[in-house]
Amino acid sequence: MRRLNRKKTLNLMKELDAFPKIPESYVETSASGGTVSLIAFTTIAFLTIMEFMVYRDTWMKYEYEVDKDFTSKLRINIDITVAMRCQYVGADVLDLAETMVSSADGLIYEPVVFDLSPQQKEWQRMLQLIQSRLQEEHSLQDVIFKSAFKSASTALPPREDNSLQSPDACRIHGHLYVNKVAGNFHITVGKAIPHPRGHAHLAALVSHESYNFSHRIDHLSFGELIPGIINPLDGTEKIASDHNQMFQYFITVVPTKLHTYKISAETHQFSVTERERVINHAAGSHGVSGIFMKYDISSLMVTVTEEHMPFWQFLVRLCGIIGGIFSTTGILHGFGRFVAEIIFCRFRLNSYRSTSVSLPDGHSSNHLPLITDNSTH
C-alpha cells in the first residue's frame, strides 16, 4: 500500500515537471550553436559582474518638505582671513529682527601672515580645483555626502615654515549662533558697538590708507560642522584693487538632514552669488567698504538619504538577465538558421537546374545522371 501511494506521488510529480528531459540521442549540436552559446555565456558573465557592482553601490535620495522648525538657532561656522590688522576690523551679524550678534560671542581674532606657505598654497589650489569640478559635475556632491567623516579634514593646514614676517592680516574664525531669519554677517573697518537704531562701527580712528579688504575664505558653513564636506565658498580668495572696495556674497541657505550609512546629521547647504564694486560716492556708487555676506533661509528642508538596492531586487534583476539573454540568443540563433537554410536551399536548387544531360533525340534533361561503377572506368 505504501509502495502504491509512493508510486502515485512520484507519477504526479513527474506530470508536474515543467522542465522535461530530452534524451541525448535526440539532441543535435552544431558549431553555430556552440558559438552562440559561448557569446551568451560571456555576455551573462559580463552583465552579472556589472549588476553586482550596481548592487554594491548606493545612491542618494532627495526628499523635500516645509521646514517647520523656526524657533531654533542657526550656527554659522567662519574662518576668514582679511589683509588688515586685527585692531582695524570688526565682525558681527545683524538680522531682520534688528538683533545684533557681536563677534565677541564666539569669534577669535588671530594675527597672521596673509601670504600662504607653499604647502598651504597647494592645499588651496587643490580645493579650488575640486570647487570647479563640483560646479561642472553636480553628481559629485553625492560622493562627498557618502564619504563624509572618511575624507581628510578640509581645514587649512598650519604653516610648515617658521615665517619671521610680522603679521599683516587678521584671521577671524569660530562660530556664531543667530536667529533663523535672514541676516547680514559683515566684516568692516572698526569694532562694532551697539546703537539704539541698529549698530555702528568705530572707523574714525582708522586711516583710510590702511583699508585693504583682500580676503581668503578658508571655511564658511551653516549648521552642524561636518568634516569632509566642501562648501561653495571654501578656498575663495579675493584681492582688492582699491582701498574703498565692497565684496558682497548673497547666500541662500537650505536646511538639510543628512542620513547615510556613516553619519546622521542636521546641516545646511547653500548657494551663493558674488558681487564686488569700488565705493565712489562722486560716481554714485554708495556703500561701506568691507565684506558683506547676506544670507536668507529657505522655507524648504531637504532630506538626503543614502539608499541601497535590496537583495531580492538584485536576484530578480539577475534572473531577468540570465533568462532574457538565453531566450534572445535562442530566438536569434533559430532565425539565423532559418535564413541560412533558405539561402542554401535556393543555392542548391539553382545548381540542380543549371546541370542538364543531353539525350539522343536532341532533348535535354535537368536531372543529374546516375553515377555507376561502369561510368567511372
b/e code 124-155 from CB counts within 10 Å (16+ = b): beebeebbeebeeeeeeebebbbebeeeeebe
C-alpha count within 13 angstroms, C-beta hemisphere, residue 105: 15
Over the stretch 236-269, which tens digit does the pLDDT of each residue have? 999 998 888 999 999 999 998 888 887 787 888 8
CA quadruple 318, 319, 320, 325: dihedral, nearest 10: 90
Which residues have CB under 8 Å from 332's CB, separation 6+? Answer: 36
Mean of pLDDT over the chain: 80
Q: How confident is the model at residue 275 (pLDDT cuts 50, 70, 90)?
A: very high
Q: Judge whether residue 41 has pLDDT over 80.
A: yes
Q: Judge whether residue 215 has pLDDT over 70.
A: yes
CA quadruple 111, 113, 119, 121: dihedral, nearest 10: 110
Over the stretch 185-195, which tens digit does the pLDDT of each residue have? 999 888 777 66
pLDDT at res. 20: 67
**What cell numbers appear for 290 in the block?**
568691507
Which residues have CB under 8 Å from 346's CB, separation 6+? Answer: none
Average pLDDT score over residue span 290-296: 93
Q: Judge whether residue 362 has pLDDT over 60.
A: no
**What cell numbers appear for 52 in the block?**
553586482
How far apart CA 273 and CA 177 sit, in angstroms, is 23
Q: Judge whether residue 375 has pLDDT over 50.
A: no
N-terminal to C-terminal alpha carbon distance within the chain: 75
DSSP string of 4-65, one letter each residue: HHHHHHHHHHHHT-SS----GGG----HHHHHHHHHHHHHHHHHHHHHHHHHH-EEEEEEEE
- Three-state secondary structure along 214-266? CEEEEEEEEECCCCCCCCCCCCEEECCCCCCEEEEEEEEEEEEEEECCCCEEE
Longest Cα–Cα distance of the chain, Å, equals: 135
Strand partners for 192: 201
pLDDT at res. 372: 47
Phi, psi of 254 (to 5 degrees): -115, 115
pLDDT at res. 376: 44
Which residues have CB under 8 Å from 50's CB, separation 6+? Answer: none
Phi, psi of 102 (to 5 degrees): -75, 150
